[in-house]
Amino acid sequence: MTGPDTALDRTLELAVLVNEDMDRALATDGLTRSRAHVLFELHHRGPVPQRTLSTALQVSARNITGLVDALVATGFVTREPHPTDRRVVLVTPTEHGARTAATLAAGRHQLASALFDGMPANRVATYTEVLDEVLARFRELTAATAR
């Protein structure tokens, strides 16, 4: 009953469940997954131009305009002027936005602990090593295909 198909299926199943759970948690904070991605990017980079976000998240500039509109409307970020380039807007987390990002990151950390803590360390190590090998294979495959 074990084998490659099972291994892949279970991996994707876990990801689906974790993502659904994260979506529910985000919703209670008034966020969506896309908006949370923006907020996390700011959490790691600090205030940045919208252009930087559209490049980092690989979405259109238009899309970032909409996501930032929504985050401004719900109080997670503000648009600040760039000190020298008047074309640029610096998307800046509010106090609330920064706190929320930190809380969500902590929640993810807690989830990781709940899922993996207490297992034999060598088994978790094997798990991660297999995953790294699979990721490397996957990247090789798509690099070859995408050419």
Partner DNA sequence: TATTGTTATACTCTATAACTATA
Partner DNA sequence: TATAGTTATAGAGTATAACAATA
Say if residues 77 and 67 touch (Cβ distance below 8 Å). Answer: no
Q: Find the part of the chain contacting DNA (CB under 7 A) among 6-14, 43-51, 96-104, 134-142.
A: 43-51
C-beta closer to DNA: residue 37 or 134: 37
Tokens standing for residue 88? 């640029």
Residues 57-96 that bind DNA (CB under 7 A): 58-68, 70, 79, 84-89
Q: Cα(49)–Cα(80) distance, rounded to whole angstroms?
A: 9
Instruction: Determine how many CB atoms are found less than 10 A away from the CB of residue 23.
Output: 13
Element at 108 (helix H, strand E): helix 95-116
Q: Which residue has the tokens 């008047």?
A: 86
Q: Find the part of the chain contacting DNA (CB under 7 A) among 44-52, 107-115, 118-126, 137-145.
A: 44-52
Partner whose binding site includes residue 32, from a second copy, DNA, none (CB under 5 to 8 Å by kind) = DNA
**Among positions 45, 87, 128, 143, the unique one binding a second copy when judged by CB under 8 A:** 128
C-beta closer to a second copy: residue 21 or 85: 21
Q: Cα(139)–Cα(118) distance, rounded to whole angstroms?
A: 31
Binding residues vs a second copy (CB under 8 A)? 2-19, 21, 108-109, 111-117, 119, 123-135, 137-139, 141-142
